[in-house]
């Protein structure tokens, strides 16, 4: 089991680098419908957002672009995927993104956020 998810009985998509690459492909394929969802949900500049179960952070980074100058936090339990996401965030020059190693079942953020389809937004 990849670092950061030891003890978890089941991770839907394989962890680590292989899972990261698979999720990157899925995220690119699904981007048009994801973008449409964010538009309908009202994602806008200046919002503070959280992406629960962010995996490799591809959608998290897209949210960062939509919400800038706001901020986005990606939360996932796979350390390897988060490390890869941090590298990609730095390569893209995004300064409004943070990643946290955490099981989403343990997430305990302020109730001021509105959640839509796995992502949460706050003004």
pLDDT tens per residue, range 66-117 = 899 999 999 988 898 899 999 999 999 999 999 999 887 777 766 545 444 4
pLDDT band of 37, cuts 50, 70, 90:
confident
- Total domains present in the chain: 1
Peptide bond before 69: cis, by omega within 30 degrees of 0?
yes
In a domain, 38, yes or no: yes
Residue 90 lies in a domain: yes
Q: 50 lies in which domain range?
A: 16-122
Question: CA 112, CA 121: separation in Å to the nearest integer?
Answer: 9
CATH number at 68 reads: 3.40.50.150
Q: Which residues contact 37 (CB under 8 A, 6 or more apart)?
A: 116, 117
Q: Does residue 23 lie in a domain region?
A: yes
Q: From CA 119, how far away is CA 49, in angstroms rounded? A: 7
């Amino acid at each position: 089991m990849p670092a950061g998810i030891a003890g978890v009985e089941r991770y839907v998509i394989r962890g680590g680098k292989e899972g990261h690459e698979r999720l990157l492909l899925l995220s690119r394929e699904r981007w048009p419908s994801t973008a449409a969802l964010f538009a309908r949900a009202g994602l806008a500049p200046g919002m503070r957002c959280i992406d629960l179960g962010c995996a490799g952070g591809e959608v998290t980074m897209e949210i960062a672009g939509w919400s800038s100058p706001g901020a986005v936090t990606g939360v996932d339990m796979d350390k390897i995927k988060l490390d890869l996401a941090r590298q990609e965030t730095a390569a893209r020059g995004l300064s409004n993104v943070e990643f946290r190693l955490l099981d989403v079942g343990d997430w305990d953020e302020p109730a001021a956020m509105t959640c839509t389809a796995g992502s949460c937004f706050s003004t």
